């Protein structure tokens, strides 16, 4: 498996940008990077994914380094409802979850 | 967007009984569905992968005779926990792969919380 490494936890002030890093140094050239989040007692929610280029949607932006060994998920204006566990996943045949980053957005 | 449903959302059963959990892809066809289990304060652990019309592939350490998976159609997969025991109490989550999407992304259901008394 292409292992990912994420900080265990992060805090962010409400209204500020939340930048969540992920290392995936063993990623292969055709493997996508996916980000999901899980709010307590719910199923994972898709956020964004990318291959090489930076991506942006209504929820977040994904910045992938040129060597593809790391990426950063950016929530531009974090709200209290963004408090969740965020998972960075490198997709091979299936999605395997690491420990993720517990993001706490504080007022 | 693609929606995956699970039924029931929660279930309580007595030890020794069997419980069936359904996973449906509501607006797309899914040739592959996945079953995960999540214990409190832990991450999701992949249990098995099921392909429509064929036998499921189980992860190491997951008992195939205890966790029966049926994927009889392109929109429905079921997980039956047979002879459930308290240690099977967990949050069970399914996902379905939409092959029409970029990268073969998976869409996740809301989960089923199983409590075995």
CB distance A95–B49 less than 8 Å? Answer: no
Distant-in-sequence, close-in-space partners of A49: CB < 8 Å, separation ≥ 6: A32, A33, A34, A35, A55, A62, A91, B102, B103, B105
Q: Which residue of B47, B58, B103, B111 to mutate against A (max A Cβ within 10 Å)? A: B103
d(CA A58, CA B15): 45
Which pLDDT score is estimated for B101? 58
| Residue-wise pLDDT tens digits, B65-111 | 999 999 888 899 999 999 999 999 999 999 998 766 555 678 999 99
**CB contacts, 8 Å: B6 with chain A:** 43
Which pLDDT score is estimated for A17? 97
What percentage of residues in chain A have a pLDDT greater than 70? Answer: 98
**CB contacts, 8 Å: A49 with chain B:** 102-103, 105
Token representation of residue A89: 């996943």
Instruction: Give the nearest chain B residue to A33 (CA atoms).
Output: B103
| Residue-wise pLDDT tens digits, B19-65 | 999 999 998 888 899 999 999 999 999 999 998 888 899 999 999 99
């Amino acid at each position: 498996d292409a292992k990912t490494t994420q900080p265990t936890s992060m805090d962010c002030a409400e209204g500020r940008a939340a930048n969540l890093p992920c290392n995936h140094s063993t990623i292969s050239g055709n493997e996508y990077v996916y980000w999901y989040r899980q709010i307590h007692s719910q199923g994972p929610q898709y956020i964004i994914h990318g291959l090489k280029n930076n991506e942006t949607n209504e929820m977040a932006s994904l910045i992938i380094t040129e060597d593809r060994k790391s990426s950063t998920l950016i929530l531009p204006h974090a709200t209290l409802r963004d408090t969740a566990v965020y998972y960075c996943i490198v997709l091979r045949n299936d999605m395997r979850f690491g420990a993720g980053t517990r993001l706490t957005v504080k007022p | 967007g693609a929606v995956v449903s699970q039924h029931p959302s929660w279930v309580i059963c007595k030890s020794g009984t069997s419980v069936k959990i359904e996973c449906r892809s509501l607006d797309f066809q899914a040739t592959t569905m996945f079953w995960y289990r999540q214990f409190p304060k832990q991450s999701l652990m992949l249990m098995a992968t099921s392909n429509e019309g064929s036998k499921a592939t189980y992860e190491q350490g997951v008992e195939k005779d205890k966790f029966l998976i049926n994927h009889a159609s392109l929109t429905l997969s079921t997980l039956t926990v047979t002879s459930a025991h308290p240690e099977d109490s967990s949050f069970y989550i399914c996902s379905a792969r939409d092959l029409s999407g970029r990268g073969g992304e998976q869409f996740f259901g809301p989960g089923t919380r199983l409590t075995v008394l």
